[in-house]
Structure 1
Amino acid sequence: MLRCILWNKIKFQNKDIFEKKQTFKTNRIFKRSYSSLVNSKTLSNKVTNYKHKIDPWFVTGLIDAEGSFAISVLKSPSTKIGWSVNARFKITVHKTDLDLILELKNFFGENIGKIVMFKDTCTYRVDKLNDILEVIIPHFEIYPLVTQKLADYILFKEIVSLMKNKEHLTLDGLRKILSFKASLNLGLSSELKDKFLNIEAVKRPLIIDKDIPSPFWMAGFTTGDGSFYLIVRANKLNEKPRIDIGFTIAQHSRDILLLEKFIDFFKCGRVKKDSRHSVHYYVVTNIKDITNNIIPFFNKYNTIGVKSLNFTDWCEGAEIIKSKAHLSEEGVSHIIAIQGRMNSKRSFNT
C-alpha cells in the first residue's frame, strides 16, 4: 500500500488568537461559520509557538507561489508633500487554510505582522517598515525567491531602502520611488501618471536560470500553486468511464524555464501550454511516475494545509488505479467518492 502521510495536526492553545467567541478546531474543521469573521476583523497578534516550525525554504516556496510585495502611494493631506508611501508584504489564501497562515505568522514571529479575515479569504500581512527591514527582507536575502517574483522583491527592497532613509518625505525622493514602482507589479496607477509626469521607470530585473534550491522550496511552492487531481469522465453509452489522475503546477509563461527544470527535479513529467492564456503547466499523469516519483517525494517533503488533505485522498485514488481496481464498477465508485471530497468539493462543515 502507498503510505500517505497526513500533516500532523497542530495544537493551538492560545485562546486569545481570535476575538471572543470565535473558536475553531485545528484539524481544519471549524466549529463556527466564518460569517462571524467578515467585515475585515483583525485577529490578535499573539500566536503560540508550535512544536513544529516550517523550513525557511518552504516559506520562500510558498511566497513564490502566493505572496506579494506591494508599495502604495496615496494622497495624504497630513504630510508636507501631500502624499504618503506605504510598503506591504502579504500572502492571501482561502479561509480554510487559516492553519497555514498561522504557521507562517509563527515562523516570522508572534509580534510580526497581523492576520486579517475578509469574506472567504485569510491574509497575513506585514506593514510596519521596521518589521519589513529587520525580518522580512533578511529572510529573502538568505533564502531568495526563485520565480520572476524575485524581480518584484528586488524593486520592493530598493523602495524600502529609500523609505528607511526618509526619502519618501520629499518630492524628489517620491519621484525616485515612483521610478521603481513603475516597474513593480502592475506599475503606476492612472492617477499617479497624471500627477507625476515624465517618471522614467527603472529597468525591471531579469530573472533567468534559477535552480530549485531545496526540496522544501518545492513543497512550499506546491502548497501554493500545485494541484493533485482525479477526474472521472463519462464515455459513450455502455462503456466504462475514463479516469484521469495527475499532478500539475501552473505558472505564468514568463516562468516556463523554471517549469522545465521540474522535469529534471522529479525525473518525470512534461510542460504544456494553455492555448487560451499566458500560462504553462508542469504535468505528471503517468501512474508509474506518480507512484514512483511524486508520491514518495511529498511523503517526505509534506505540503501543509488543505493541500495535504487533497494529497492524502489523491494517494488513495492512485493506489486504486495502480492495482487496476478502477477497472471494476466498485473501483469506479470508490474513485468517484474520493473525487467528491477533493479540492473545491471538500466540505468543512461540522
Structure 2
Amino acid sequence: MNESLCVNNTYLDGEGLLLGPSLFSFIFFINKINSKGKPTLGTRVISTQSSLKIDPNYITGFTDGEGCFYIGLSPDKNYNSGYRVKLSFQIGLHEKDLGLLKLIISYFGVGKISKLASNSVLYRVTSIDELKVIIDHFDRYPLISYKYKDYLLFKQAFELVQKKEHFSVEGLRKIVAIKASINLKLSSNLKNAFPNIVPITIPKIEDRKILNYNWIAGFTDAEGCFFIAHKKSQASKLGETVWLKFILTQHSRDENLLKNFIEIFGCGRFVAKNTKEYGEFIVEKYSDIRDKIIPLFEKYPLYGIKKENYLDFKKVSELINNKSHLTLEGLEQIKQIKSGMNKYRK
C-alpha cells in the first residue's frame, strides 16, 4: 500500500499525485529507447544505464530549473535558405553531477553527454527523432515555471523543422521570429540579416500551480540550497549561534511560483533580491524545517550532489533538535559540517 505525505494539510499519495477536492491524474511516461536499445553517448563520456527510476515529475521539476530549449541558426551556403537550423534540448551541470545526468539520459533513452573543458558536463538532444521523445515528455508532464513559454515556442520551431519547412526562406523566417521571442533572442548578426522580423507573440499562460512533490524534489536539485547560517550573538552563552535555512531561488518573472511554495508548505516567506531581478523562497524557522521540509525530502529524494548537502543539513537538524548546538562541542561539530557543504564540498 502506498503511503501518503501530508504538508500543510495537503495529501499526496505514494506516486506523488495530489489528492483533495479535485483528483489530478497523470499518465506515466514510458521510457523510450533508440533502435539500439540504449542511449546514444558522446565520444568523450561513457554513460551507463542505472537501475534507479526517476519519477517523470522530478525530470520536469529539474528542467524547470536547469533545462534549456535552444534554437540555433548559423549561415550555411549548402542550404537554399542560406542558414542551418539546429534545435537542441540541453542541461549543463558541474562535473560533480555527472551521475545525475546519467540518470536523466537513462530516463529519456536518447541524447548524448559530453564533458566540457570548464569542469562541466552537458546533456544534449539534437536529432528530430530524439527530440520527439523530449516533446512527448513535456506534453505529458508540463513545465510550471516561465520556461513553459519557452517550451511552447520551441515546440513550434520543432514542428516546422519536423515538416521540413525550415528549408524554405518563408519557413526560416518563421523560425527566426520564434527565436526572437525565446531565451537570449536574436544576436546582432541575426538582427542585421533579418531586419524586418517581428517576434511572435509569446503565449499568454495563466499562473501554473505546483501539484506534485516529485516536481519539488527535481526543482530543488536544480535551484535549492540547504544552508547552515552562523553568526556572532550576544544572546548566546557561547557568543555564537547557528540556524538552518532552506532556500529556493528563481528569476523574478517566476515570483508567483515561489510564492506558491508558501501555500504548499504552509510556511516560509518570499524575498525579492537585487532590485527584484530574482527572488527567494526562504524557510528558517526550525520547527518548519524539522516538520515540513525534511519529511518531504525523506519521501521524495534528491539525486544530484545536492543530496549530500541535504544529508549534512539533516544531520545538523538532529544536533539542533538534541540541543547540541548549545554546547561548545556541538557548535564546533556543526561548524565543521558547514565547512564542507555547498561550494566548499570537494
Q: Quick check: TM above 0.5?
A: yes
2:149 matched to 1:147? no
Q: Is the 8 A contact 2:160 2:171 kept in 1?
A: yes
2:301 matched to 1:299? no
Deviation at 1:213, TM superposition (A): 2.5
Question: Secondary structure of the residue that 2:52 maps to in structure 1?
Answer: coil
Bigger CA drift: 226-235 or 67-76?
Answer: 226-235
**1:156 aligned residue (149, 154, 157):** 154
Question: Secondary structure of the residue that 1:184 maps to in structure 2?
Answer: coil
Question: Secondary structure of the residue that 1:282 maps to in structure 2?
Answer: strand
**1:233 aligned residue (231, 238, 242):** 231
- Partner in structure 1 of residue 45 of structure 2: 43
1: CA distance, partners of 2:158 / 2:284: 44
Deviation at 1:128, TM superposition (A): 0.7
2:290 matched to 1:288? no
Deviation at 1:238, TM superposition (A): 8.9
Q: Which runs of 5+ in 2 are unaligned?
A: 1-37
1: CA distance, partners of 2:323 / 2:105: 44
Q: Is the 8 A contact 2:238 2:326 kept in 1?
A: no
Deviation at 1:41, TM superposition (A): 5.9
2:76 matched to 1:76? yes
- Partner in structure 2 of residue 53 of structure 1: 53
Deviation at 1:195, TM superposition (A): 0.8
Q: Is the 8 A contact 1:69 1:156 kept in 2?
A: yes
Deviation at 1:328, TM superposition (A): 1.4
Deviation at 1:208, TM superposition (A): 2.7
Write the deviation string for residues 94-132 of structure 1: whole angstroms up to 9, x where unpaired: 1001110000000001xx110011121111100111110
2:74 matched to 1:97? no
Q: Is the 8 A contact 2:62 2:220 kept in 1?
A: yes
2: CA distance, partners of 1:271 / 1:329: 33
2: CA distance, partners of 1:106 / 1:249: 27
Question: Secondary structure of the residue that 2:196 maps to in structure 1?
Answer: coil
Q: Is the 8 A contact 1:95 1:121 kept in 2?
A: yes
Letter in 1 for 2:202: R
Deviation at 1:327, TM superposition (A): 1.5
1: CA distance, partners of 2:71 / 2:134: 15
2: CA distance, partners of 1:280 / 1:303: 22
Question: Secondary structure of the residue that 2:243 maps to in structure 1?
Answer: strand
- Partner in structure 2 of residue 326 of structure 1: 325
- Partner in structure 1 of residue 35 of structure 2: none
Question: Secondary structure of the residue that 2:189 maps to in structure 1?
Answer: helix
Bigger relative CO (Cα 8 Å, ≥ 6 apart): 1
Q: Is the 8 A contact 1:147 1:207 kept in 2?
A: no
Question: Secondary structure of the residue that 1:302 maps to in structure 2?
Answer: coil
Deviation at 1:239, TM superposition (A): 5.7
2: CA distance, partners of 1:277 / 1:210: 21
Q: Is the 8 A contact 1:41 1:117 kept in 2?
A: no
- Partner in structure 2 of residue 248 of structure 1: 247
Q: Is the 8 A contact 1:248 1:284 kept in 2?
A: yes
2: CA distance, partners of 1:322 / 1:260: 28
Q: For residues 107-256 of structure 1, what are the structure 2 equivalents within 5 Å?
A: 107-109=107-109, 112-118=110-116, 119-133=118-132, 135-235=133-233, 240-256=239-255
Question: Secondary structure of the residue that 1:93 maps to in structure 2?
Answer: strand
Bigger CA drift: 256-265 or 273-282?
Answer: 273-282
2: CA distance, partners of 1:152 / 1:213: 21
Q: Normalising to structure 1: TM-score of the pair? A: 0.84
Q: Normalising to structure 2: TM-score of the pair? A: 0.85
Question: Secondary structure of the residue that 1:179 maps to in structure 2?
Answer: helix
- Partner in structure 2 of residue 274 of structure 1: 273
1: CA distance, partners of 2:57 / 2:123: 18
1: CA distance, partners of 2:107 / 2:290: 32
Bigger CA drift: 280-289 or 266-275?
Answer: 266-275
RMSD: 2.1
Question: Secondary structure of the residue that 1:255 maps to in structure 2?
Answer: helix
2: CA distance, partners of 1:208 / 1:328: 51
Question: Secondary structure of the residue that 1:61 maps to in structure 2?
Answer: helix
- Partner in structure 2 of residue 65 of structure 1: 65
